[in-house]
Amino acid sequence: MLYGVFSDVHSNLAALDAVIASMKTRGAERFVCLGDLVGYGAEPEPCVQKVAALADVCIFGNHDSVALRRESSSHFNQFARFAIEWTQSQISEESQQYLKKLPYIVEEGSYCFVHASPKSPADWNYITSLDEAQEAFEFFTTRYCLVGHTHSPVIVVQDELGQNLRVLDAPAYEAKDGERVLVNVGSVGQPRDRDPRASWCLVDDQLGSFEIVRVSYDIASTQRIMEQNGFPAFLVQRLELGR
Ligand code: ZN
């Protein structure tokens, strides 16, 4: 079975459409969204509706939580806060009900799916160092874990002894016997690794393989809709910079 795993859509409909088309072209049959459907962008409602119609598994993200007012936006920077407070008035009752039911973490077969970190998922810890990655491996029992949240795709491999970690340079990997793998699938709607293309991960459960796929989309059309809705220039411009 091929999985299409994606995260951090952030209300960017053109990017989401491009990723869905790419996942289907590559033969993905089971679709997993790792959260943050909304925030930052200006098309929350159609993005939630589209993910709800597509995803077999969908995880709850920190921006989804603030959009529902489950937690406050006080820890967000001014740009993220602007976008999420705007979002609160834009999403339908139906979409709110969908977001409300999303789980923080799901284990399915060999995979753990979570937005930020398997270590207390509702605390939204970032995994940005080898130490944090090593610790994360202690908090899931499956062989593989897929996360989002940082908006920077990366594949981390733990050796068969459970001791050494390797951060891969390559965007694809097939796990060897005994190895465990932690994958950050990157972001659909707001990539931050200086590559503005949308990101998702093709997962093959027969091969035990992972491939980060990058997809071009019409950035200008997304930016136009943000401008029409009075979004801060910083949020508009960062999309073309990929940061
Ligand atoms: Zn995010």
* Chain segment 34-56, per-residue pLDDT in tens: 999 999 999 999 999 999 999 99
Backbone angles phi, psi at 44, to 5 degrees: -65, -45
pLDDT at 185: 98
Q: In what order do the strands lie in the sheet with 154-158?
A: 105-108, 111-114, 144-147, 180-184, 154-158, 165-167
For residue 177, report the distance from its CA to the centre of ligand 1, in Å. Answer: 32
For residue 186, report the distance from its CA to the centre of ligand 1, in Å. Answer: 9
Closest to 6 in 3D by CA, of 16, 192, 38, 181: 16
Q: How far apart are CA 213 and CA 30, in angstroms?
A: 16
User: What global pTM score does this model have?
Assistant: 0.98
For residue 149, report the distance from its CA to the centre of ligand 1, in Å. Answer: 5
pLDDT at 39: 98
For residue 8, report the distance from its CA to the centre of ligand 1, in Å. Answer: 5
For the stretch 136-159, pLDDT in tens is 999 999 999 999 999 999 999 999
The single residue listed with the structure tokens 């610790």 is 135
Strand pairing partners for 3?
A: 30, 203
**pLDDT under 70 in the chain at which residues?**
none
For residue 142, report the distance from its CA to the centre of ligand 1, in Å. Answer: 24
Is residue 37 within 8 Å of residue 217, measured between CB atoms?
no
Q: How far is CA 96 from CA 153, 173, 213, in A?
A: 28, 37, 30
Give the other-Cβ count within 10 Å of 66's Cβ. 24
Closest to 59 in 3D by CA, of 67, 51, 69: 51
pLDDT at 77: 96
For residue 161, report the distance from its CA to the centre of ligand 1, in Å. Answer: 32
